[in-house]
């Protein structure tokens, strides 16, 4: 399952070969980290005074609820792990928190690692490649459209 942690919202999606894809938006994004500490939902946990840790805990709770809904419909065998993408994918402690709560493998997705690149390699790897997951997906979709019958 791809979990895109954006600025204003987070999205969960999983595509199936023979079924409709699963897609759900969660109204929680990294913009919440810019809020005043009092505006962030407190979980009344003494160890969660850090706004980033409160955000991670709230995000993990929301993702866990959506995965519970998903597995009740599709079964647990349909879900093998989580790919994190978007600007919030590299928040410190997020991967561990998701793994502890869901017992699913979890890793940050760099979409550029999935492309064959014939151009000479850079001396420095692209930092924050996970931020470009949506753009890479749209580019692939555009290429598929261009190669189909839709083009004159």
| CATH number, domain with residue 31 | 3.30.420.40
- Nearest residue to 103 via CA among 130, 45, 57, 64: 64
Instruction: Return the pLDDT at 75.
Output: 78
Residue 64 covered by a domain: yes
What are residue 22's DSSP bridge partners?
14
The 10s digit of each residue's pLDDT in 49-107 is 788 999 999 999 999 999 999 888 887 777 889 999 998 999 999 999 999 999 999 99
Confidence of residue 144 (pLDDT cuts 50, 70, 90): confident
User: Is residue 118 included in any domain, yes or no?
Assistant: no
The stretch 34-50 carries a mean pLDDT of 58
| Crossing angle of the two packed helices 94-102 and 51-74, in degrees rounded to 10 | 40
The answer to whether residue 148 sits within a structural domain is: no
User: Does 54 map to a domain?
Assistant: yes
Does residue 6 lie in a domain region?
Answer: yes
Instruction: Give domain status of residue 142, yes or no.
Output: no
Beta bridge pairs of residue 10: 5, 26
Residues near 107 by beta carbon (within 8 Å), at least 6 away in sequence:
81, 82, 83, 84, 95
Integer CA distances (angstroms), 52 to 6, 27, 83, 97, 100, in order: 15, 16, 20, 12, 17
Its pTM stands at 0.74
- 76 occurs within a structural domain: yes
8 Å CB contact between 25 and 10: yes
Tell me phi and psi for residue 25, to 5 degrees.
Answer: -95, 140
pLDDT for residue 33? 87
Residue 151 is assigned to a structural domain of this protein: no
How many domains in the chain?
Answer: 1
Distance CA(68)–CA(131), nearest Å, equals 26
% of the chain at pLDDT higher than 70: 70
What is the domain extent for residue 76? 2-110
| Partners of 3 in beta bridges | 12, 84
């Amino acid at each position: 399952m791809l979990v895109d942690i954006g600025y204003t919202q987070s999205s969960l999606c999983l595509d199936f070969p023979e079924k409709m894809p699963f897609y759900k938006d969660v109204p929680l994004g990294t913009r919440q980290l810019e809020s005043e500490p009092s505006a962030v939902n407190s979980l009344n946990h003494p160890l969660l005074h850090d706004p980033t840790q409160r955000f991670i805990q709230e995000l993990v709770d929301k993702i866990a609820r959506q995965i519970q809904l998903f597995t009740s419909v599709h079964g647990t065998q349909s879900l093998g792990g989580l790919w994190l993408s978007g600007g919030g994918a590299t928040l410190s402690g997020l991967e561990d928190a998701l793994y502890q709560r869901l017992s699913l493998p979890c890793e940050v997705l760099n979409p550029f690692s999935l492309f064959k690149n014939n151009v000479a390699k850079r001396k420095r790897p692209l930092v924050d490649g996970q931020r470009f997951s949506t753009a890479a997906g749209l580019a692939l979709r555009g290429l598929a459209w261009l190669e189909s019958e839709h083009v004159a």
